[in-house]
Structure 1
Amino acid sequence: MLWRLPLLLAAYVGVVAGDGQQALGSHNTDLDHIREKLLEAQIIPTVIDDFPPALSLRVKWKHDSAALGNTLKPDHLKKAPVIHLDRVESDALAGAQLSKHMSYVIVLTDPDAPSRDDPKWSEFCHWIAASSQLKFSSKSKSKHHLKDIIKYKPPAPPPKTGKHRYVFFTFIAANGTTKKLHLSKPEERKHWGSDHAGHGVREWAHENGLIPIGKDDLIPISFTEVNISSCEFHIRGKRQAVAPGTSHVIS
């Protein structure tokens, strides 16, 4: 039997820059506006294929939080953030069967390493973490316990490399399984363990049977943004079949 796994990419578009940098946008929760910002920042299609956002992903650090285009100081991002997933009214969510016992994965990637003009280390894996429970918070109070697969490496753009786009993704199993996800672990952060420049989360997701599903059965995602001397984030969903018995399937 084949397992079908969809990918819920909840990404932020955040740019980390120095003091005095102007935010790219406001706390706008309109999903169409979010998609437009992702297109503007070229997260779509550079990092992920085009998709309709459907779930709201919020990322909070002790002294800062991600918002659509705000500027953050790298010093405030030293420790892994708290992740919140929120349901929103969306056609993409209609009929979606989401269980609180589903496992999900949070990913953070930088497509602009060491700089957007010279992305020879792209993509750079900053974080992969998994949770055994999928919870939504309508009152912004839920917190999620995440177990590191690749430890969180805080955004720290090299001096004079301009803005970087840091992108968060969220993955869940399309078949609704509540069993543990077995995912490959990149051997190196650069290129997500590949020898090829530009290799990143999209390819890693494919290798693990996680690709965006079609719009008709898309499971929603949401977006927010952050800024550090270079940083961004977004969202999305899709699916692919993977044979059981490999290191890339649900057991």
Structure 2
Amino acid sequence: MVSSEQEVLSPTQTFPLKQMLTTKRINTVLSDFYPTFTLYMAYPATHTVARLGNNVTANDTWHEPVFEFHRLSRPPMSLMPALQAENFYTLALTDPDSMNVGGTKSEVCHWIVSNLTNMELAPEYHPFELDDKVDDYPPTPIRTFTPQVLVPYLAPENVTDSHRLVFVLLEGNSSMANNVTVPKERKDWGYGERGHGVQNWAWENGLHVNDDEMGED
């Protein structure tokens, strides 16, 4: 699902702030953050891969996408926190450029899938030879969660102007598993106030962010 044109960060690289500012995502959708996961998004029906800032059409995104997420490798003495077996993950898709009657914009919730498990922590997940580095993996089986679709996928509308579509990977402690709330409505993520959206919803549910973005023509 990864395009050869997609940029994948290592923990020693700086966060792609220039690209983020160009797409005007920081301060309009999410606060600044340090990436700890790589999120791969693809629409198999149209062979479309979501990349940071790439342009797609509404027809490309008509069907529900598939996804994978992988922890960025953690070098020795890294400031990145260790993998937590008891954490769960939530994937959300939001559109901060949806137009209202009268020309104002609202952030619209297009999709939420929660209770996702990071399978890289599973004892049977061995992407490379372990040799003697058995301590790199948890000694006991991890707790797995049953995925829940909190908000069904809503394909973006076929509009004339460009919209930003932001996939957001959220991480939370297992104490919140099965307790993530559903937004009251898609528009403004149910807050009924312009400028509110996925970030407010994540804060309320004790979730932390990793993300990916593409644009829609």
Given the two structures, how large is their TM-score scaled by the length of structure 2? 0.72
Cα RMSD after superposing both structures: 3.0
**1:64 paired residue among 48, 54, 76:** 48
Q: Which runs of 5 or more residues in structure 1 are unaligned?
A: 1-25, 213-220, 230-251
Report the secondary structure of 2:168's partner residue: strand
Distance 2:32 2:176 in 1: 29
Q: In the alignment, what sits opposite 2:148? A: 147
Larger Rg: 2
- Pair 1:33–1:147, CA change in 2 (3 A): same
The equivalences for 1:87-166 within 5 A come to 87-90=71-74, 94-99=80-85, 102-114=87-99, 118-120=103-105, 122-136=106-120, 146-158=147-159, 160=160, 162-166=161-165
Distance 1:124 1:82 in 2: 20
Partner of 1:194: 191
| Number of residue pairs the alignment of both structures matches | 184
Fraction of identical pairs, as percent: 30
Q: Hey, what's the Cα distance between the residues in 2 that align with 1:124 and 1:74?
A: 15
Indicate how the Cα distance of structure 1 residues 207 and 58 shifts in structure 2: closer, same or farther if over 3 A, else same.
same
CA contact (8 A) 2:115 2:177 kept: no
Structure 2 partner of 1:28 = 7
Decide whether the 8 Å contact of 1:103 with 1:181 is kept in 2.
no
Letter in 1 for 2:21: L
Taking a change above 3 Å as real, the CA distance of residues 33 and 97 of structure 1, as seen in their structure-2 partners, is closer
- Aligned 8 A contact 1:123 1:190 in 2: yes
Which structure is higher in strand share?
A: 2
TM-score by length of 1: 0.63
- Corresponding residue of 1:235: none
- 1:85, distance to aligned residue in structure 2 (A): 0.7
- CA distance in 2 between partners of 1:138 and 1:166 (Å): 33
Mark the runs of 5 or more structure 2 residues left unpaired by the alignment. Answer: 128-144
Distance 1:50 1:157, change over 3 A: farther
